[in-house]
Structure 1
């Protein structure tokens, strides 16, 4: 992506501010739903940074996989569980928070020193880089064709195995001659296959 130098600088500052604010909100907000939404903001900000680095495929994968799949899965898990429980007070909680803050500040200082002391090779000329999608497609369908196909077969086998393990058979309860047919007796009760095998062996 060939952008002007001013546009790149402004985009970098805005995306960095969004990423930092979202990450701080994920850590500090007590509401887990808001934290999950801010986690999606972190992923989108990282995708924007990938676009500035001309990594268009990595940016698209970041949005599709992390925002569209992982973050949505986290939100569904939070909303489906929705367990209200009074948490017990953590012993020495202030000490743990202080140690965590010291470690985070030390890592931030280390990264700051690394960034400022490294001699970055920056040139004024912006080179037109080829699309990463074309290069990845060429490697996938030439050099890495066999591992790519094996990975797809492995994912298919795992998906089929998950479906088989989670499958349940609908088995109606038998109605004896003395029982009257009611609305409840017409419902198909869901029972696992192990319970069905045990009942058939008892007979």
Structure 2
């Protein structure tokens, strides 16, 4: 084994351990904010594995999309919602835990059997790798797959507009707010009220 192969093997072991430990932390942590941060660590470790496979574009896309967008969105959703509920013990909690352990153990055994029984012969691939793959992906995006690429951007734009519409607070007249809605009313005033108040002064 050469020095480069040894460094690659040690890096692979460290990144794999990081993925497994971060994934266990996501599942076992009682704090949901810590779980979200550990999920970001798992995504970054997976991006490192992609770099070891010489798939730099997939690694950067992993960091930009999953860590920079999805994980940050999860954190914002957790911190903005901030829903607090009293702890209530669930009925048949031991049964749920037992089923969870059974399903996870079965999946682990199935994946382990697949890893052991699969011949992992390393064969050179004729396709482009490294920076050449990025150029080929860019050419395909703007030639063969231009329509799906543009449709994906329109879909993301629609999702952003929908999020803005859902997050926007509409002002309601005070005489229509009754009951439980009155307790949830925020101490805000509409723009018209602010303008009329400034005009009176």
Q: Normalising by structure 1, what TM-score?
A: 0.74
Q: Does 1:59 align with 2:59?
A: yes
What's the counterpart of residue 118 of structure 1? Answer: 118
What's the counterpart of residue 173 of structure 2? Answer: none
Structure 1 residue 64: deviation in Å? 0.8
| Counterpart Cα distance in 2 of 1:67 and 1:32 | 16
What's the counterpart of residue 191 of structure 2? Answer: 170
| Counterpart Cα distance in 1 of 2:130 and 2:19 | 27
The alpha-carbon distance between structure 1 residues 28 and 100, as it changes in their structure 2 partners (threshold 3 A), is same
| Counterpart Cα distance in 2 of 1:69 and 1:161 | 17
List gaps (5 residues or longer) in structure 1: 176-184, 188-203
Q: Normalising by structure 2, what TM-score?
A: 0.75
SS in 1 for 2:90: coil
- Report the structure, 1 or 2, having the larger helix content: 2
The alpha-carbon distance between structure 1 residues 151 and 74, as it changes in their structure 2 partners (threshold 3 A), is closer
1:100-111 aligned at under 5 Å gives the runs 100-111=100-111
| Counterpart Cα distance in 2 of 1:12 and 1:113 | 21
| Counterpart Cα distance in 1 of 2:29 and 2:92 | 20
Q: Does 1:10 align with 2:10?
A: yes
User: Is the 2:47–2:58 contact (alpha carbons within 8 Å) kept by the matching residues of 1?
Assistant: yes
What's the RMSD between the two structures over aligned residues?
2.9
1:1-203 aligned at under 5 Å gives the runs 4-122=4-122, 129-131=129-131, 132-160=133-161, 163=164, 166=168, 170-172=191-193, 185-186=197-198
Structure 1 residue 158: deviation in Å? 4.8
User: Is the 2:36–2:75 contact (alpha carbons within 8 Å) kept by the matching residues of 1?
Assistant: yes
Structure 1 residue 28: deviation in Å? 0.6
The alpha-carbon distance between structure 1 residues 106 and 164, as it changes in their structure 2 partners (threshold 3 A), is closer
Could you say which structure has the greater relative contact order, defined with CA pairs below 8 angstroms and 6 or more residues apart?
Answer: 1
The structure with the largest alpha-carbon Rg is: 1
Equivalenced residues, count: 175
The alpha-carbon distance between structure 1 residues 128 and 153, as it changes in their structure 2 partners (threshold 3 A), is closer
List gaps (5 residues or longer) in structure 2: 171-189
| Counterpart Cα distance in 2 of 1:173 and 1:36 | 40
